[in-house]
Amino acid sequence: MANRFRTIIAVTIALTLAGGGMGLSPLGVRAQEDSTSEFPGRLDGGGTHAQDDSPREFPGRRVGGGTRGGCWGGPRPLLALHPANNLGVTAAAKPTLYFVLPSLRQAQEVEFLLVDDQQKTIYEHLEWVEPDQAILAVQIPDQYLALGQPHQWYFAVICDRDNPAQDLVVDGWLQRVATASPVSPSPEQLPADLERLKGYQAQGLWTDAIALITALRQAHPENPAVQAQWQALITTLGFGIFDAVLP
């Protein structure tokens, strides 16, 4: 496994330099270009901008690239539920990232990578997903995220283990900050969880806000308040164009 990614990373760097900086991910495929627009507002529709103020740019893509065929059967693409500025901020020691899985023809292996500033893998997670699975949560263990340091991650649906160029890939950045850790949602405390969601947004903890509302929607699929917050999330993330095919 390590040899595979060392080879892909080496090819990626060479192609990036040859292509004037247009990057391929270490997972071996140029994913669809993502929006460079600002991540707006609060998930509840308010006007407060709670986002990272760093002048540094964080290149990434939230929509998996590729063409239909292979393992992607359409119409739902691979999506990372992640801010449009590509930097997620978390206070969690073990943050959870959520991905909308593409329409698959059969069970496929997926892979999550967290890398350091030299593009060396520091955490790797592999699992198989079924074609009827629509959302996947990936939790990062607490020993891998240094406080205040942005870490880049990659997530791929592996369509062909021997040909990484066929993979469907998204990538982004995650930064852990020192503040009170998020509380896991509970069926018995839905009103408190919805209030907590507003607090995460106000603090700019977008990764935690996204994780909380996604988990609440899975636990309370028929609750109108939760559904309204989920719909606000999709709109805020700029994924409204996929609304008809989202789970």
Residue 205 resides in a domain: yes
Burial of 59 (0-12, 13-18, 19+ CB in 10 A): middle
Residue 244: how many other CB atoms lie within 10 Å: 8
pLDDT at position 187 is 59
Q: What is the pLDDT of residue 87?
A: 96
In the prediction, which pLDDT does 31 show? 37
CA distances from 79 to 123, 154, 191 (A): 21, 12, 28
User: Which pTM value belongs to this model?
Assistant: 0.80
Residue 45 maps to a domain:
no
Q: Give the per-residue pLDDT at 179.
A: 80
Share of the chain above pLDDT 70, in %: 72
Q: What are phi and psi for residue 202, nearest 5 degrees?
A: -65, -30
Give domain status of residue 39, yes or no. Answer: no
The average pLDDT across 155-164 equals 91
Is position 41 within any domain?
A: no
- pLDDT tens digit sequence for 62-110: 998 665 557 888 889 999 999 999 999 999 999 999 999 999 999 999 9
Q: What is the mean pLDDT of residues 169-184?
A: 86
Domain annotation covers residue 160:
yes
State the pLDDT at residue 24: 40
Query: How many domains does the chain divide into?
Result: 1
231 within a domain of the structure (yes/no) = yes
Work out the average pLDDT over 27-41: 37
Give pLDDT tens digits for 201-223: 889 999 999 999 999 999 999 99
Amino acid at the residue 212: L
Q: What is the mean pLDDT of the chain?
A: 79
CATH number assigned to the domain comprising residue 198: 2.60.40.1930
Q: Is residue 84 part of a domain?
A: yes
pLDDT of residue 164: 87
According to the model, what pLDDT value does residue 246 have?
A: 86
Q: Which domain holds residue 162?
A: 2-31+50-240
pLDDT value at 111 more than 70: yes
Which residue did the predictor score with more confidence, 17 or 178?
178
pLDDT for 232 beyond 50: yes
Q: Where residue 3 falls among pLDDT bands split at 50, 70, 90?
A: very low
Q: Mean per-residue pLDDT for 102-127? A: 94
pLDDT band at 112 (very low <50, low <70, confident <90, very high): very high
State the alpha helices, DSSP H only, in the chain.
Answer: 2-18, 190-202, 206-219, 224-236
40 found inside a domain: no
- Average the pLDDT over 118-147 and give the result: 94
Query: Backbone phi, then psi, for 187, in 5-degree steps?
Result: -60, -25
| Residue 26 scores a pLDDT above 60 | no
